[in-house]
Amino acid sequence: MATKSIAFHSYKGGTGKTTIASNYAALLAKKGFRVALLDLDVYAPSLLAYFQKQPKKWLNDYLLGEADVDEVMTEVTDIIEDYSKKYDKAAEIRGRLWIGFCNVKKEEIYKIEGGTSESSKLQLRRFIVLREKLMRDYDLDYVIIDTSPGIRYWSINALAVADTLFLTLKTGDIDVEGTKRLASEIYGSLTKYGTKSFLLFNRVAGYCIPSHIMNSLEKGNDQNEGLMEPYSTGDAQDVLSRETRMDVISAIPCYCDIQFTKKEFLTALRYPEHPFTRQMEMLVNAMATKA
């Protein structure tokens, strides 16, 4: 199959981009796909929290011309297989996963901050070549790109090299005007050239509401009127989808156990039966049919 490259982006921060990108990439690898996951959240890299492997070199080194692609792509297939086996001895990772990590050190971030200098132009050219080299030399099925929120230099570059954009929204904390502007100004200019874009709603309300309240809400019981608010999220999704002219690829509920864990881990590998994992499975299927 032709390589698909998907960028996870959002207008506001903390919408779940890194959580979903990491779990989605790991699940794709488990299913037998060859996947590269790139940390293009260069201003606040955070993939190391999910994949505890110290890379030899960073994406920053590659962008600065100080490392080759092979030196900055760290294979984590073994790590995620060992991790899965801790919880299910029969688990296996049938594909492969490589990660391009970004350096968290401030001085390294400053070096690739972008601008109009010759060195910035070279960095951008190297970034475009990175995607080409990855596709050619790694025989990839997917390139997954995690980005910084908002309209920032490296986020826009990441969106420009992707063929599918997932605009991630955190339900209950959506800047409707900002999202619409982002969709029309930035996404609009990319989709003109064939890029596909979707809305991905995360932390949708509803999952934690006790079933007896859910039942009476479904029956239209007025006594729970005060609780009706979360159920308007479906309408909000429709309105935003219409106004941005983007289809909804997924609506993932908010799971308290994910929100309140002290340490980030790959739910999709640790708990194969978790409803979040089922959501990731659905996203894999939705991509296969819609994008």
Taking contact as CB under 5 A, which single stretch among the options 9-17, 81-89, 109-117, 197-205 is the one that binds Mg ion?
A: 9-17
CA pair distance 91, 111, nearest whole angstrom: 41
DSSP 54: -
User: Which of the residues 54 through 113 are near ligand ATP (CB under 6 A)?
Assistant: none
Taking contact as CB under 5 A, which single stretch among the options 18-26, 131-139, 171-179, 274-282 is the one that binds Mg ion?
A: 18-26
18 binds Mg ion (CB under 5 A): yes
Q: Using the rule CB under 6 A, which residue among 37, 63, 134, 258 binds ligand ATP?
A: 258
Q: What is the DSSP string of 112-156?
A: T---SSHHHHHHHHHHHHHHHHHHHHH--SEEEEEE-SSS-HHHH
Number of shown-chain residues binding ligand ATP (CB under 6 A): 17
Retrieve residue 47's tokens: 């993939």
Which residue intervals of 139-259 are DSSP H helices? 153-161, 176-181, 188-191, 211-218, 233-244, 256-259
Q: Phi and psi dihedrals of 38, rounded to 5? A: -110, 130
Q: Closer CB to ligand ATP, residue 68 or residue 113?
A: 113
Binding mask 134-153 for ligand ATP (x = CB under 6 A): ---------------x----
To the nearest whole angstrom, how small is the minimum distance from the Cβ of residue 30 to Mg ion?
22
CA pair distance 192, 248, nearest whole angstrom: 19
267 binds ligand ATP (CB under 6 A): no
Kindly list the residues in this chain that would bind ligand ATP in the complex (CB under 6 A): 10, 13-19, 41, 149, 202-203, 252, 254-255, 258-259
